[in-house]
Amino acid sequence: MSKRVGIEVSIAIAEAVGLARAEVIPAYPITPQTHIVEHLSEMVANGEVDAEFVPVESEHAAMSCCCGSIAAGARTFTSSSSQGLSLMSEILYIPSTMRLPIVMVVANRAMSAPISIWNDHQDIMVQRDIGWIQTFAENGQEAVDLTLHAFRVAEDRNVSLPMIVNIDGFTLSHVIEPIELPDQEEVDKFLPPFKPRYKLDPRRPISMGPVGIPEVYTEAKVAHDKAMKKAKRYILKAWDEFEEIFGRKYNPVESYRTEDAEVLLVTMGSISETAMTAVDAMRDAGQKVGLLRIRLWRPFPGQEFRKAVGKAKVLAVIDRCLPPGALCGPVGAELRSLFYKIPGAPKIFSFVAGLGGRDVTVERFEEIVDKARAFAKKRPRELYEVIGVREK
């Protein structure tokens, strides 16, 4: 039987990786991800997990090592954040087009400068287009569940793509929550042993990672893109199977009090819990406001999102990332593309909030909804607005 325990989310994720029977864990510590790999190294040292823990000299080496171990057919996990994730950048595009299903948890953190160890989504938006499947967790339970789900999906032979589970740094990674940790038997039922389509094996030699001359590079990238689109079906299927075994249901887009809503907040990650409190307060005050939370970010679940929006007239999108000089934040831009020239499409405004660990309070969400309503009447000059920024 699974047990419900009060546990730090990072430790719970490490326990989940152990339950998933990861075989190789190349990792380099970086705040706020450190507790995950630190605990994993202890579990390996104590003989609780039968894995190779590789204490590499950098994140660049960590991801390189992951590519090697997954290519050799070992279930592979690592974790990173912010500058460390960026140091992996050169390697991150490689396992995805090569269809190597590494699983990584990213404890999201701001990008320097100025130096910040605190939470926002700028680190992962730098890596938006690396071609990994990406999900965002809202709370500790979800972080654990999505980690297990990631192994199941990534390694599915119909998918065979690497996968990132995003968890908010500190607000998730460092909090203690009541979490139901599944038992080994249940996890084994959900997650069969890793059987890759191809692996590096001297008995059956193949080459991975050859040159792609101009005549085939485009086709290789299109094959990757098609695989990502096709993956959605298996992502959903794995969530259905997860529900059957563990009883918790996950969707690519989560709706909260969206029935008859005029304005919908759109969020990703742990900020959504505050957003729900804000929606409750606004509903109590008679406002028709709801919340959509994007759990599956890549491949983007366009169909599900459009359906979830229903008849809402205004989307107030929270972007936890400020791309200087861009027309608006990445989530806002994605949704604007989704609804472009669709009849009856909602008006979409992007609100940049919660950068570098700044709290986004219930009052801020109320302010965002008010502003979105006003913008719907009078078009603002910019497609986005930074919330709570001081002028002087």
Partner 1 sequence: MANSDAIVGWKTITFGCHILEPGNAANFRTGDWRSQRPVVDKEKCIKCGMCWVFCPDMAYSQDEDGYFVVDLEYCKGCGICAHECPKDAITMVPEEG
Binding site for partner 1 (CB under 8 A): 97-100, 160, 197-198, 205-210, 212, 215-216, 218-220, 222-223, 226
- Based on CB atoms, which residue is closest to partner 1, 178 or 209? 209
Write the CA distances from 56 to 60, 63, 65, 85, 353, integer angstroms: 9, 9, 8, 14, 35
- Based on CB atoms, which residue is closest to partner 1, 66 or 98? 98
Minimum gap (Å) between residue 53 Cβ and partner 1: 26
Do 289 and 301 contact (CB within 8 A), yes or no?
A: no
Minimum gap (Å) between residue 223 Cβ and partner 1: 4
Strands (E), 245-302: 253-256, 263-267, 289-294, 296-298
Minimum gap (Å) between residue 133 Cβ and partner 1: 15
Rounded distance between C-alpha atoms, residue 308 and residue 258, angstroms: 8
Write out the H or E segment, with its range, that includes residue 206: none
| 73-100 CB burial, b ≥16 within 10 A, e <16 | ebbbbbbbbbbbbbbbeebbebbbbbbb
Minimum gap (Å) between residue 92 Cβ and partner 1: 15
- Based on CB atoms, which residue is closest to partner 1, 222 or 374? 222
Minimum gap (Å) between residue 298 Cβ and partner 1: 18
Rounded distance between C-alpha atoms, residue 298 and residue 127, angstroms: 11
- Based on CB atoms, which residue is closest to partner 1, 7 or 100? 100
- Based on CB atoms, which residue is closest to partner 1, 87 or 98? 98
Rounded distance between C-alpha atoms, residue 358 and residue 352, angstroms: 11
- Based on CB atoms, which residue is closest to partner 1, 53 or 198? 198
- Based on CB atoms, which residue is closest to partner 1, 58 or 218? 218
Minimum gap (Å) between residue 216 Cβ and partner 1: 6
Minimum gap (Å) between residue 214 Cβ and partner 1: 11
Q: Going by C-beta distance under 8 Å and a sequence separation of 6 or more, which residues neighbour residue 33?
A: 10, 79, 80, 81, 84, 105, 106, 107, 169, 173
